[in-house]
Amino acid sequence: MEKMAKITLSNTRSISTLLSDLRSLFKAPVLIANVLPVLSGFWLAIYFTNASFMDHLNLFLLTIVGSTIVMAGALVINNWYDVDIDTIMERTKKRPTVTGHFSLNAVLTMGIVLTVLGFIVLLFTTMEATIYAFIGWFTYVVLYTMWSKRRYSLNTVIGSISGAVTPLIGWTAVTSGFHIVPIILFLIIFIWQMPHTFAIAMKKYEEYKAAKVAMLPVVHGFAMTKRQVFVYVACLLPLPFYLGMLGTTFIVIATILNIGWIVLCISGFFMKDDMKWAQMIFLYSVNYLTIFFLLVIIVTLPPFQ
């Protein structure tokens, strides 16, 4: 009985370790954060074309599944390519590519297979959605991970394109992307990623410096980074007004979110503890994106009968 108990415990730990490794390999929080704008883009396209969601349920599932698999493939390939950096940085030392739980060949194969499968699924939606997914994948894997991340402090700007196309994937699965709504959603995510990523780079300054990753705080210092954060957040202020068709409630809440972020940015010029400020900016940015994209869905929900 004791031996069986030990085997059971060992199996439980093995499953737990595998799930933890997969979560790390797929960067689960990042993956989920990128799926939400796809969902929001799809939902808004249904809303603005006066279509029925239930009539497009199969299309919705294909869009979400396909885009999620493509993004997972990109994140896995990023893990494969960045193994040397992950070995140095404290927060990434437990990734399976570093611990050796998964071989690098297996990780690369997984990333390629997931990417191909994801694009095959998306081809059953629309060509435009597939093209936007490819733009996101190519920008993240090639232009960001393999080319600019280690060389240029503009890597964040380049990498932000990949996250910003996510609502366009959802929208164009239903209708053409030549519409003010998906364009503004693209701009919001594109701009949002700069202060969000800069805050992370400040928090992990020593790790990025040791790994020789050309993040803005490492190359140009905290003072420059704080000014950049303020400028990018200020650029968000007018954007909700271009989505006036979503109603007054949306504009008011979105504007309050933006003003709150601006105030927090200004406080950074007076705070002596840069790390505390960076943590505040990071937490605000995470909640900002979640609230914003849940809000665009909530304000367009049909009224209860």
CATH number assigned to the domain comprising residue 83: 1.10.600
Residue 31: inside a domain: yes
Cβ 285 vs Cβ 199: under 8 Å: yes
Q: Is residue 267 part of a domain?
A: yes
Query: Tokens at residue 42, please?
Result: 């799809």
State the pLDDT at residue 1. Answer: 52
7 within a domain of the structure (yes/no) = no
Whether residue 20 lies inside any domain: the answer is no
Residue 10 contacts by C-beta under 8 Å, 6 or more apart in sequence? Answer: none
Q: What is the domain count for the chain?
A: 1
Is residue 14, in this structure, part of any structural domain at all? no
Q: pLDDT below 70 — which residues of the chain?
A: 1-13, 304-305
Task: Judge residue 229's burial from the number of C-beta atoms within 10 Å of its C-beta, 0-12 exposed, 13-18 middle, 19 or more buried.
Answer: buried
Q: What are phi and psi of 299, to 5 degrees?
A: -70, -15
6 domain residue, yes or no: no
Per the structure, the complete domain to which residue 36 belongs is given by 26-298
Residue 47 lies in a domain: yes
Average pLDDT over the chain reads: 92
Q: What is the pLDDT of residue 189?
A: 97
At residue 100, the 3 state secondary structure works out as coil
